[in-house]
């Protein structure tokens, strides 16, 4: 009986210690995604919350007519942390931001944490991207788009080349 107790205790400790270290082994690469309003360089994807979106992109609470505040065409990625396609899209967007540099700005919005903002743009699936040209209204796309398709949209709709 005594050995059974120690065996169970040792097994529980082993399970507990393995579970704790599994969480610390996961590596999240966010070196090129920064939170606003920190000064960023032109090669960073910027993570926006509701307030930063209103300040930098569009005040959707007080305006019904589109008025983009940005200085260059933009892509807004509405994502969720648990979304597999969103995780596959993230590095593609980082690559595009680096390749296009100061010609476009890519933003990320956690739609789960910013539900009012996501609802204002009709986000019901993840990922949802909003493409914002300098002149004209934005257009959206749902789902994981390949890099080639994103480059086509950037060229044709946002009117930006590398």
Active site residues: 83, 86
| Residue 54 tokens, joined | 């209103």
Note whether 155 and 103 are within 8 A (CB): no
Q: Tell me how far CA of residue 52 lies from CA of 56, 63, 92, 104, 154, in angstroms.
A: 6, 16, 23, 18, 23
Report the C-alpha gap between 33 and 45 in whole angstroms.
5
């Amino acid at each position: 009986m005594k050995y059974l107790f120690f065996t169970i205790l040792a097994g529980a400790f082993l399970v507990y210690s393995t579970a704790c270290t599994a969480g610390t082994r996961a590596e999240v690469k966010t070196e090129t995604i920064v939170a606003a309003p920190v000064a960023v360089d032109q090669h960073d994807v910027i993570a926006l919350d509701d307030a930063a979106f209103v300040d930098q992109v569009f005040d959707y609470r007080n305006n019904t007519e589109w008025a983009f505040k940005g200085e260059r065409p933009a892509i807004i990625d509405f994502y969720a942390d648990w979304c597999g396609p969103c995780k596959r899209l993230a590095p593609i967007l980082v690559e595009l931001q680096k390749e296009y540099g100061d010609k476009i700005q890519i933003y990320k919005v956690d739609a789960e944490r910013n539900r009012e903002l996501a609802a204002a743009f009709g986000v019901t699936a993840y990922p949802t991207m909003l493409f914002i040209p300098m002149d004209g209204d934005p257009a959206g796309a749902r789902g994981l788009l390949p890099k080639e398709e994103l480059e086509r949209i950037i060229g044709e709709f946002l009117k930006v080349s590398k």
